Structure 1
């Protein structure tokens, strides 16, 4: 699977498909947050239908739009490899867990925004910056012909070998904090576990084989996922 990183291409049909499917899921999240979907879901779970629309629902929807925009930047600007159709169909479904899942979990929460929620917004923003910012720095480095075939270890990646993945965990945690439902916290925990025990080890094996000693030096001197911790 990791051999895909070496297969360059535009993959425009797949990228357009991913975008179209994600737009569909975000439209559905709007139906849940602000339309008749609220009453349907609330009746299924026995939740009260709120008379007023809490501000946190608007924040969840704004998060959805921000993630969609970031995905667009990632795919159409940064991603230069082939995308198999299996990935083009599975990626939007994975992101639907966030777009739709948190839209559902926030429905019974009528609490006004407080300090904890504003911290959650900050964590979401930090996660987006770490993920997209690090990818942007690597994109600039790779765009220089003088750096062809070289391993990028600067910028935000100097603090963590996979700081982009850590950013993903943070923005998902921000979603969970705004939704304010206990089940929501399972998602950042599961995502962190996936990165730590599956994705990162496999990716490190690939990078170690591709870059050799420069990568070995990098992993010796740099935290693997969480800056200053591990």
Structure 2
């Protein structure tokens, strides 16, 4: 298994660094998110083949990663084509060294987040499907639905000219300031839970997957960036101040 994991990591970072070279040359981030989600899908399906077992649990897990990657990657690619740029990269796309850090971090995100699924697909042992699997996949489904609905609600909101310069505060966004990130965390937590049905010993350290996603979105590349942008844009607006005060950052009904 270690050999296959090392091969997966090499392929992951090889792709990110190779695409960084192209992105740095073109000075564009337009295919950054698509490359990330595409690598998830590629590695999940390759690990299923490398394992030579293809148990039902492995097939379902790989299918869920594939569905997640196709939906999110496609959505983010269409969004950046429409908007023209991603503000996260305003100080990076012109600086190859800084841009390289972004692409490298994406490689880390991919491998750590996908680790439970990679281990599951490479594991030779199997067990009958049980409550942990069904609970994990249900959690994934809830997260997938939350993320997809939140993304669609914000897309529709921004597409309405009457909402130009306004912030969204209805639908799922009335219960969480970042419901799309909540959905993301729930999906990977669910996939770890299902994979844990056959994990043993040190393999349980792959719980780093949902913890890493939560930490990354909550403290590094997700919430902090958007919160700063929101305060800069609407911080003086009493309605936004009320929204910030009354609406939880991530987890509904926790404020």
TM-score range, shorter chain: 0.7 to 0.9
Unaligned runs of 5+ in 2: 1-25, 94-98
Query: Is residue 203 of structure 2 the alignment partner of residue 200 of structure 1?
Result: no
1:65 is paired with a residue of what secondary structure?
helix
Query: Is residue 254 of structure 2 the alignment partner of residue 229 of structure 1?
Result: yes
Distance 2:116 2:30 in 1: 24
TM-score after normalising by structure 1: 0.76
Distance 1:124 1:154 in 2: 23
From 206, 209, 212, the counterpart of 2:232: 209
Distance 1:14 1:132 in 2: 22
Distance 1:90 1:186 in 2: 15
Distance 1:220 1:18 in 2: 31
User: Could you give the per-residue CA deviations for residues 54-109 of structure 1, whole angstroms, max 9, x where no partner exists?
Assistant: 2111022102211221223322333424144535675465234334x233221335
Aligned position for 2:67: 66
Map of 1:133-172 to 2, 5 A cutoff? 133-172=149-188
Matched-pair contact (CA < 8 Å) for 2:116–2:209: no
In structure 2, relative to structure 1, the CA distance for the partners of 1:17 and 1:26 (3 Å cut) is same
Number of equivalences: 205
Matched-pair contact (CA < 8 Å) for 1:60–1:102: no
Map of 1:80-99 to 2, 5 A cutoff? 80-83=83-86, 84=89, 86=99, 87=102, 90-91=105-106, 94-99=109-114
TM-score after normalising by structure 2: 0.69
Distance 1:28 1:216 in 2: 43
Q: Please, what is the CA RMSD of the aligned residues?
A: 2.7
From 131, 134, 153, the counterpart of 1:118: 134
Matched-pair contact (CA < 8 Å) for 1:22–1:96: no
Unaligned runs of 5+ in 1: 1-10, 40-51
